[in-house]
Amino acid sequence: MRQVLATIAVAFTLSLASSVSAQSLTVGFSQIGSESGWRAAETTVTKQEAEKRGITLKFADAQQKQENQIKAVRGFIAQGVSAILIAPVVATGWDAVLKEAKEEKIPVILLDRQIDAPDSLYLTAVTSDQVHEGKVAGDWLVKDVGSKDCKVVELQGTTGSSPAINRKKGFEEAIASHANIKIVRSQTGDFTRTKGKEVMESFIKAEGGGKGICAVYAHNDDMAVGAIQAIKEAGLKPGTDIKVVSIDAVPDIFKAMAAGEANATVELTPNMAGPAFDILAAYLKDKKEPKKWVQTESKLYTAKDDPMKVYEAKKGLGY
């Protein structure tokens, strides 16, 4: 439903990147839509990266619908673009259109998500590793608490969603060999601020006013922002009394970090297109097939990384 609603919100846009240089590449980009701030940032960054390289970007917003994406890809093929980027909305149903692209010898690069299709049909997939993201967050906590005992409460993403499952798994792997760190409570906060706050409130009450809790691990920054408010309202200091570590690196968490209320966040980079364009340039130059999966960096940010500067840099990306 949310996707349908988002669809209505977003007027259909088909924009062309402004800079056109004579011998430049033309690349088609079929984006899912703009259902989240991160998605909007990915679109902005993709346009920026294309402009930086003098690539003409043909952008199509699929408004959460695969048929729109397939239509857009066929359109790109008809226009004879040099390459196509797809951020696939679903994993299945891509074989036919990818074969058409292959017949026309147009390389296809997947962004952000994998698909269920023979990997000969696309050049490569540029995605993050969600398990690794959870692990980076867990490793930070392991290092930060040292040998002290630490009771962690976990705010999970939407139950059953792949980021929730994978980010939980990665974090658990990181703390598995450290008996001093234990997850004492884990509930879903549905990736939202409201639920993050509500769940954190109940965690604090259930754990004796929050004094026993040493850290909160949230599967995304929005829930962490909600949890920070809950901690403050319970009369505790987020970042000090209860450490806050989360994933995504959206601008608002850097504001909290600058205020000392959040400790660490792991970036899910919106820059998937940059590596994709680099791979494409290398491929077009010497026709050597790249690896089928390129993992983006899951960068850890802490208070040492000048959070206000990161905030200012990220603010304009459309998060």
Residues of the shown chain interacting with other proteins in the complex, contacts defined by CB under 8 A: 2, 4-6, 8-10, 34-37, 40, 156, 159-160, 185-188, 190, 192-194, 197-199, 201-203, 205-206, 222, 225-226, 229, 233-235, 252, 318-319
CB of 138 or CB of 189, closer to other proteins: 189
Strand partners, 61: 31
| Structure-block tokens of residue 172 | 């658990």
| Shortest distance in whole angstroms from residue 198 CB to other proteins | 6
| Shortest distance in whole angstroms from residue 217 CB to other proteins | 14
Alpha-carbon span 245 to 253, nearest angstrom: 10
Alpha-carbon span 248 to 313, nearest angstrom: 15
| Shortest distance in whole angstroms from residue 291 CB to other proteins | 34
CB of 206 or CB of 294, closer to other proteins: 206
| Shortest distance in whole angstroms from residue 201 CB to other proteins | 6
| Shortest distance in whole angstroms from residue 77 CB to other proteins | 30
Alpha-carbon span 205 to 313, nearest angstrom: 37
CB of 81 or CB of 234, closer to other proteins: 234
| Shortest distance in whole angstroms from residue 235 CB to other proteins | 6
| Structure-block tokens of residue 187 | 């509930």
| Shortest distance in whole angstroms from residue 67 CB to other proteins | 20
User: Could you identify the residue written with the tokens 């983006």?
Assistant: 296
CB of 97 or CB of 244, closer to other proteins: 244
| Shortest distance in whole angstroms from residue 188 CB to other proteins | 4
Neighbour tally for 70: CB within 10 Å: 19
| Structure-block tokens of residue 173 | 């792997």
Phi, psi (degrees; rounded to nearest 5) at 287: 55, 25
Q: Which amino acid is at 101?
A: A
CB of 92 or CB of 162, closer to other proteins: 162
CB of 47 or CB of 197, closer to other proteins: 197
CB of 77 or CB of 223, closer to other proteins: 223
CB of 5 or CB of 176, closer to other proteins: 5
